[in-house]
Structure 1
Amino acid sequence: MQNVKHQTETDASSKTDFANENSFNAQSVTFKALDGYELNGTLYSPTHPSTAKIVLASATGVPQAFYRRFSEYATQLGYEVLTFDYRGIGKSAPRHLKGFQMSYLDWGKLDLAGAIDYLYDEHAPLFLVGHSYGGQALGLTPNHHKVTAMYCFGTGAGWHGYMPFKEKIKVQAIWNIVFPPMVAVTGYLPWSKLNMGADLPKGVYQQWRKWCKNPTYFFADPEQHELHEQYAQVKTPIYAVAALDDDWALPSSRYAFMQHYKNAPMHFINISADEFGLKQIGHMGYFRKDSEQIWDKMLNTFTTLIAD
C-alpha cells in the first residue's frame, strides 16, 4: 500500500503556484448528504462566471486537501470545483470514530449524491473527477444522470490478485496481520498512524477488507446483488485512466470493475510516467504536484464535450 503524505503541504516552487493568486476564491462550505448528514467541503470559484463545474470524489481515506492543487489549477481555467470529505473522514468526521456507524456505500449513495445536488446547475455542465473509490461511487448515486461525464483515475476492483507479486504480498500482510489488531484495540482503523491516509470508520474497514478478497469486489457480495442493476443504469460517459505503475489499479483491475458500467460509453486510457516526464505516478501521483499535463489532458476532454 502506498503512503498518502503531505496532504496539506504548500510548495512555493510548485507549478500550480499561479502568478495571479487572486484570480479565484476558495471558501469552506457545508452541505447535506441525502440523509441529512452534514458534510464539509471547499468550493473553488473563478472570479469570472464559470464555464462548467467539477465535483471531486476522493479516494478512500484521502482528505480533500490532497486535491487542492488540482482544484486551484482547474479553477484558473474557468471551472468551479467542489472538494469534500466523506462522512467519517477529515472535516466531515465526528469527534470520536469509535462506535460511528456507517456503510462504505454511504459515501456514494448519500454523500457524493449530496455533493452532486449541491453543485448541480441545469445551465452548466457538471463533471465528476473520481480518484480510486471516487470512480466506483458514481454507480452508487441515484442522481448520476446529472453528471455530464466522469473522468476517473486509479479505479479498480481492489483484489490483490491483480497486483504485482511484491505489492500483493505487502497488501495481504497489512490486511491480515497489521490491521486486525489495530482495529480490535481502537474500534476503528487508525490509518493515520501508518501515514497512509485519514483514519477510517470500522464499517468502512470491514466492508473494504471483505470486498477486496474477491476479483469482482462488491459485485460478488450476495448482500449487494442489486448493485448489478444499479450500475447498469448509468449512461454517463466515462473516461477511466490507469497508470501503468499504479500497482493498486492496473488495467486488469480497472476492467474488472468498469465492466459493470455496461451501458455507459466507456473510454479506457493507459498512461505512463515517461509520457508526462514524471519519475512515477503510482496510485497517488495523479493529483500530486507536477501533474498538470495529466490534468490538461482531462480538461481538454471536458472542453471538447462542452463544445459539442
Structure 2
Amino acid sequence: MHEINILCEDNYTLAATVFTPTETVKGAVLLGPATGIKRQFYQHFAQFLAEHGYGVITFDNRGIGQSLSGEIKYCDVTLQCWGEKDMPAVLEQLKLIFPDVNYHLIGHSAGGQLIGLMSNALDFTSMFNVACSSGQLRNMRLAHQVKAHFFMNFYIPLSNQLFGHTKSQWVGMGEPLPKQVAKQWQQWCNGAGYVKTAFGKTIHQHHYDDLTLPSMWINAIDDDIANSLNVEDMISVFPKLSYEVLTLNPADYGLNEIGHMKFFSRTSKSLWSLATKWLNTQSKG
C-alpha cells in the first residue's frame, strides 16, 4: 500500500492509493468511490482484494478529500468531469502499474454510474457495482422520498446559496461537495436514468451505448436509494450491457444492516468474497 498522485489530462492532480499483491497479480481493480466519499473508506476492502491477488487503486475525485485544491467554494468541478477526466486518468495509471492483466471496475454508487463517460471505458473486462442505481427520487419508498427531496431540492440549493458549496457532512452525506457537483447530482436524481438526463445537453459523447462487458449489480433490501426499481433504471442506460443483479438480505449474512454504505465496512467482511469470486471468474484466461 502506497500513496501516489495521478495527473489528469487537464493537469489536475488526484490523490490516490495503490494496493499491490505480494504474489502473482491476477488482475487489477479501479475502485470508483460514491459521491463525496474519500478513498480511505475503502482501504480495508482494497487490502482484502490485494490479499487475494488483485492490484487496486483507490482515489479521491477532484474537489474531495486530498484532491481538493484551494477553497471548496471556488471549486468549479462537476459530477460529469469525475467520469470524463478523473476516472480515465486513474484507469491509465492502473494499466501502467499493473500491465498485461485484465482490468475491472468495482463501482460504489457514482463510481459505477459514471463508467460510460470514460473515454477508455471499453478497456475494462468487467464491472462489479455496489449500491449503484439511478437514485431516482420518485422510485423511493415514501418515508425516504421525503428525506431525499429535502436534501436534494431544499438543502443543496440553500447550502450552495449560503456557503458556495454543499455542506453534505452536516447531514451525514459524506464530504463537503463542490457546488456544481451537488447541483448536477440533484438534477440527475430528479430525472429517470440519472446521467441520461444530461445526454444531448452537457453530455455529447459517451460509451453507455457501446458497453457489452459482463457486470454484476449488488444491492440490498435495506437500501432506500439503490432499490430494485432504481437499479433497473440505471441498467436501462446501458442498452447492450450483459448483467446480473443480486439483492442481498443482511440476515442471510449474519448482519444487522447493509444499506447504501455498509458493504465496504469491515463489519460486512462476510460479503467481500462475492467480489473476489466475481473477479476470479472474469479474470480467467
TM surpasses 0.5: yes
> 1: distance between equivalents of 2:77 and 2:257?
35
**Percent of aligned positions with the same letter in both sequences?**
27
Q: Which residue of 1 aligns with 2:223?
A: 246
> Residue 105 of structure 1 is aligned with which of 77, 80, 88?
80
Contact 1:190 1:198 in 2 (8 A): yes
Q: Tell me, in whole angstroms, the C-alpha distance in 1 between the residues paired with 2:62 and 2:176.
A: 11
| Match in the other structure for 1:304 | 281
Q: Partners in 2 of 1:225 and 1:187 — Cα distance?
A: 24
Equivalent of residue 231 in structure 1, options 208, 216, 219? 208
- 2:68 aligned residue: 93
List gaps (5 residues or longer) in structure 2.
none
Q: Which residue of the other structure, out of 129, 134, 149, is the alignment partner of 2:106?
A: 129
**SS of structure 2 residue aligned to 1:298:** helix
5+ long unaligned stretches in structure 1 = 1-25
Partner Cα distance (1:169, 1:290) in 2: 29
What is the CA distance between 1:48 and its match in structure 2?
2.4
Following the alignment from structure 1 to structure 2, what is the Cα–Cα distance between the partners of residues 307 and 96?
46
Aligned residues: 282
Following superposition of structure 1 onto structure 2, how do residues 22-41 of structure 1 map, counting pairs within 5 Å? 26-41=1-16
Tell me the distance in 2 between the aligned counterparts of 1:251 and 1:174: 21
Corresponding residue to 1:62 among 7, 32, 37: 37
Counterpart contact for 1:161–1:215, Cα < 8 Å: no
User: Aligned to 2:212, what secondary structure does the other structure show?
Assistant: coil
Counterpart pick for 1:258 among 228, 231, 235: 235
1:1-308 alignment, distance < 5 Å: 26-120=1-95, 121-221=98-198, 222-224=200-202, 226=204, 230-308=207-285
Name the Cα RMSD after superposition: 1.6
Partners of 1:216 and 1:287 in 2: how far apart?
25
**Structure 1 runs of 4+ off > 6 angstroms?**
none
Cα deviation, residue 225, structure 1: 6.0
Aligned to 1:9: none
Pair 82,207 (structure 1): closer, same or farther in 2 beyond 3 Å: same
- Aligned with 2:70: secondary structure? coil
Secondary structure at the counterpart of residue 126 of structure 1: strand
Please, which moves more after superposition, 77-86 or 95-104? 95-104
User: TM (normalized to structure 2)?
Assistant: 0.94
Distance 2:240 2:153 in 1: 36
Give, in whole Å, the separation in 1 of the partners of 2:92 and 2:233.
29
The 8 Å contact of residues 151 and 240 in structure 1, kept in 2 or not, is answered as: yes
8 Å contact kept, 2:157–2:183: no
